[in-house]
Amino acid sequence: MEEKNKQAGEVKAAGASLRDEIERIVRGENSDASLILGPHWIERDGKRVLVVRGFRPGAVEASLVWRGNAVPQPMTQIHSDGVFESVSAPGNPALRDGEALAPNAYRLRFRFADGNTWEDYDPYAFPPLLTDYDLYLSGEGTHYLKYEKQGAHVRKIDGVRGVHFGVWAPNAQRVSVVGDFNFWDGRVHTMRNRGVSGIWEIFVPGLGEGALYKFEIRSRFGNFVRLKADPYGFAAELRPKSASVVCNIENYEWNDAAWMKARAARDWLHSPLTVYELHAGSWQRKTSEGNRWLTYRELAEELIPYVKRLGYTHIELMPIMEHPFDGSWGYQTVGYYAVTRRYGSPADFMYFVDCCHREGIGVFLDWTPAHFPRDAHGLSFFDGTHLYEHADPRRGAHPDWGTLVFNYGRNEVQNYLISNGLFWLDKYHIDGLRVDAVASMLYLDYSRKPGEWIPNPYGGRENLEAIDFIKRLNEVVHKRHAGALMVAEESTSWPAVSRPTYDGGLGFDLKWNMGWMNDTLRYFENDPIHRQFHHNELTFSMIYAFNENFVLPLSHDEVVHGKRSLLGKMPGDDWQKFANLRLLYGYMYAHPGKKLLFMGCELAQRNEWSETEAIDWRLQESPPHRGVQRLVTDLNYLHTNEAALHEVDFEWPGFEWIEANDGAASILSFVRRARDSHNFVVVVCNFTPVVRENYRVGVPEAGFYGEILNTDSAYYEGSDNGNSGGVSAEPVPWNGRAYSLKIRVPPLAAVYFKLQRK
C-alpha cells in the first residue's frame, strides 16, 4: 500500500492525505470525490504526468480504454474495496502534456468477482456545466429559469450522451445521485461541490430517459443520511413509489401558436371568462376497467368537447403536480416540477393543453406555494437542516394542515417558487395560475392562537417576506408572459390583492370572491319565507364588488364531504331545490365578476364530491338535471355574447341598481352595462316561490324588451312562467326612471331582458 501511495504522488486534498481521502470515499464521507477521482495532472519526478483514479465498490480489476487504442491500459488497485489508479507518462500519444483532457478520451472498465464487467466514460472527466453566473444568480435569487440548470437534464457533451444532475444542498457533507444504474450506492456518483453556492452537480454518461434516481444526502450535522426526490424533477414514479424519473420535456411539438399570440394581445379583464374547475382523477372514470382514471390524452378526447359544448372559456385543473396522497387532491405537493404520473407523461399533458388551445379553451392550474407536506422523500429537512422551511414551527408549520411553510425570506427558496411558477407557463403553455391559500401566506398569525406566532420586525402580523415574494412573483410572470393571469384564492379583506404592485397592490389579476360565495350560499340555505329577513346578505356584495377584480367561485370546497352538494344545500322539495339552484346560477352570471363552477355542479349533482368517484353522468338522462345543464350552457353563451355581462365587471359603470331594497318580496333588480352604455341587460331575480304578477320595474329607455333568459323556462324544466318573449316599456315613471316594465316575475327565478333596437 505504501508503494501505491508513492505511485499516486502523495498529493494532498483538503488538508488530509490521499489515503485518508480515499478511505472517506469508500465510506461515503468524502465531500467532493472529483478532487480525488477522475483525471488529474500532477508533478512526478520533475515531470507532469496524468493520474486517473476510478472507483466501483466490489470491483477486482480495472483498466482504461483509450479512444483509438484497442489495448486497455491496466489500472493498479489502491484500495481493496474497488479504488484503482493509472499513471500515464507524457509519451502517451493520447495526451498532450499540460493540456486539458477531452472528457471522451477514455472509458473506465471494471471487472467484478462474478465475472461481470461494467464499462463507460468517467463522470469525473467531465467539467462542471454550471457557470459562475449561474451560481451567482442562484444565490441572488434571480435565476428564474433555474429549472433548466438544476434537476436532471439529458445532455450530449463532446459526443457523449448522459444526464446532468444539479441540486441545492448547502448543508450537506456529501450529495450523490443514486439509482438502478449504480445499485443505489451513494458512494459511486458523488456530486461535485460548487462551493459557497451550496449547489452540487455531476454529469453521468450513458444515462438516458426513464432512469430512476434520487439524491442521497449526507448532512454535515448529526447522522443524517436520507434519500430525497429531486426538487426540480420533471417526472416521478407513481405512488407509493417515490423515485424521480429522468425525463426530457423538450421534444414536444406545439401546435398552439395562434392561441398563444391571441392570448398575449387580449384584454382578459374586459373579455368573457367562465371557468370549469375539475379534478382530473374524478371527472370521469373507466368503470369497465377497474374504475381507473382517464389519461391526459383521454381527457383531451372526452373533456374538451364537453367543456366546449357547455360554452366555457377556460378549464381550471386542481393541482396536477406530483403528490403522494390521493386524498390531498394534489394540494400537498411534493414534486413541484413533475406532472403527476397518475394520468400519463409530461408529453401527454402537453398534448392535453395543446388540444385545449386549438379548441379555443384556456387552461389554469391550481398552484400551492403556501405549504408542502412532511413526506420523508420531499423538501422537508432536505439537507439535514430546515432548508426550505423555517426551523421554528411558529413560522414553519401550518397548524391546520400538518404541513410546512416555505421560508419566503430566503433568496433560493423564493427563486425555487418563482422559477416553478414560470416553468408551468414556459414549458406547458399554461394560461395562468390560481394561487391556493394566499391568506395563509400573508398573515403570520393565520389560524394561530396568541403565543403561537412571531410578529414581524415592526410588531405586526403581516408576513413581510411572503408579501415580497408574492409581489415579485406577479411582476416576473407578467413581464415574461403577456396574457397569462394570476388568480388569488384570498379569503380575507387584505387590500389591493388584484391591483398592480406599482399601485401598492399584490399584483394579481383576479381574486376569488369568497365573501360573495359565503353570503350567497348562506342566504340560499334559508327557507324562502325567511329570506326577507336576510335580504342584506345578497346586497352586501355590491358594497365592495369593485374593490378587487373578482371571480365568483362555486368551487370544489363548497361541495366536499360534510358540506353537501349545491343542490343539497337548497331548501324545499325537489322542485324548489332545482328552481333555487337555477336561480342561483342565473343570479351568479348576472352579478359583476368572472365565473367559476366546479364539475358536476352543472348537472345538479346530488352527492357530495369525492376524489374516488366520477360525476354521476346518468343524471344527464334525468329531465331536471338535464335542465340545469342546459341552463349553465345558455348562461355561458350569454356571458360570452352579451358584452353587458362581461365587459365592465370591475367598475361601477357596468352595474346599477334598479331596486335593491324590496326585501319584503325578496326581489332584486339591476342593470348590467357594456362599455357602450346603451348596450345593457335588465335583470330581475325572485327569491321566493311566489309568482309576482304585474311587477313594475323601472328601465333606462323606451322600447320593447326581449326576455333573453328565464331560468323558470320549460326548456330548463321550470314551471314556464314568463313574459311571452318580452314586454314593452311604458311611460310610467318607476324606480327613478321615466319608463318601466310591468312583468310577471316567475317563482324562484332570474329573468334577463334586453332592449331590442332596430
What digits encode the pLDDT tens for the residues 659-710?
999 999 999 999 999 999 999 999 999 999 999 999 999 999 999 999 999 9
- The string of DSSP codes covering 609-647 is P-TTS---GGGGGSHHHHHHHHHHHHHHHHHHH-GGGTT
Confidence of residue 11 (pLDDT cuts 50, 70, 90): very low
Across 179-328, the runs of DSSP E, i.e. the strands, are: 192-193, 199-205, 212-219, 225-228, 244-245, 274-278, 285-286, 292-293, 314-317, 321-322
Q: Stretch 409-427: mean pLDDT, rounded?
A: 97
Q: Stretch 19-41: mean pLDDT, rounded?
A: 93
> 745 pairs with which residues across the strands?
692
Catalytic residue among 32, 216, 348, 436: 436
- Confidence check: pLDDT of 6 > 90: no
Q: Is residue 257 part of a domain?
A: no
Is 426 considered catalytic here? no
Q: Stretch 326-342: mean pLDDT, rounded?
A: 96
Question: Does 542 share its domain with 624?
Answer: yes
Confidence of residue 531 (pLDDT cuts 50, 70, 90): very high
Domain of residue 704, CATH code: 2.60.40.1180
Is 662 considered catalytic here? no
What digits encode the pLDDT tens for the residues 372-387?
999 999 999 999 999 9
Distance of alpha carbon 262 from the chain centroid: 23
Of 213, 245, 277, the residue at which a domain comes to its end is 245
Confidence at residue 14, expressed as pLDDT on a 0 to 100 scale: 37
pTM of structure: 0.94
Of 125, 140, 159, the residue at which a domain comes to its end is 125
Q: Stretch 160-185: mean pLDDT, rounded?
A: 97
Q: What is the sign, positive or negative, of the torsion defined by CA atoms of 621, 624, 625, 628? A: positive
Question: Does 103 share its domain with 193?
Answer: no
Q: Is residue 251 part of a domain?
A: no
CA distance 30 to 24: 5
Is the N-terminal amide bond of 74 cis, ω within 30° of 0?
no
Nearest residue to 217 via CA among 207, 229, 206, 209: 229
Grid cell listed for 241 = 413509489
- Confidence check: pLDDT of 241 > 50: yes
Q: Is residue 254 part of a domain?
A: no
Domain of residue 318, CATH code: 3.20.20.80
- Quickly count: other Cβ atoms within 10 Å of residue 449's Cβ: 8
Pairing of β 485-488 and β 432-435: parallel
Tally the domains of the chain. Answer: 4
| Residue 1 CB burial class (10 angstroms; 0-12, 13-18, ≥19) | exposed
Question: Does 225 share its domain with 301?
Answer: no
Question: Does 143 share its domain with 121?
Answer: no
CB 52 within 8 A of CB 43: no
- Confidence check: pLDDT of 640 > 70: yes
- Confidence check: pLDDT of 98 > 80: no
Question: Does 63 share its domain with 182?
Answer: no
Q: Is residue 259 part of a domain?
A: no
What digits encode the pLDDT tens for the residues 704-747?
999 999 999 999 999 999 999 999 999 999 999 999 999 999 99
CA distance 533 to 120: 80
- Confidence check: pLDDT of 1 > 90: no
Domain of residue 30, CATH code: 2.60.40.10
Q: Is residue 255 part of a domain?
A: no
Q: Stretch 227-237: mean pLDDT, rounded?
A: 98
Question: Does 516 share its domain with 590?
Answer: yes
- Confidence check: pLDDT of 621 > 80: yes
| Mean pLDDT over each residue of the chain, to the nearest integer | 94
Catalytic residue among 489, 519, 548, 707: 489
Q: Is residue 575 part of a domain?
A: yes
What digits encode the pLDDT tens for the residues 545-577?
999 999 999 999 999 989 999 999 999 999 999
Beta-carbon contacts of 707 under 8 Å, excluding residues fewer than 6 positions away, are 722, 723, 724, 725, 726, 727, 751, 752, 753
Lowest mean pLDDT among 245-249, 512-516, 560-564, 749-753: 560-564
Confidence at residue 203, expressed as pLDDT on a 0 to 100 scale: 98
Packing angle of the helix pair 132-140, 411-428 (nearest 10 deg): 110
Confidence at residue 15, expressed as pLDDT on a 0 to 100 scale: 38
Confidence at residue 578, expressed as pLDDT on a 0 to 100 scale: 98
Question: Does 581 share its domain with 726?
Answer: no
- Residues of the domain holding 573: 266-644
User: Residue 150 — φ and ψ, nearest 5°?
Assistant: -100, 170
Question: Does 627 share its domain with 684?
Answer: no
Question: Does 112 share its domain with 30?
Answer: yes
Question: Does 486 share its domain with 513?
Answer: yes
Confidence at residue 487, expressed as pLDDT on a 0 to 100 scale: 98
Grid cell listed for 730 = 311604458
Buried b (16+ CB within 10 A) or exposed e, 91-128: eeebbeeeeebebbbbbbbbbeeeeeeeebbbbbbbeb
Q: Is residue 260 part of a domain?
A: no
Confidence of residue 96 (pLDDT cuts 50, 70, 90): low
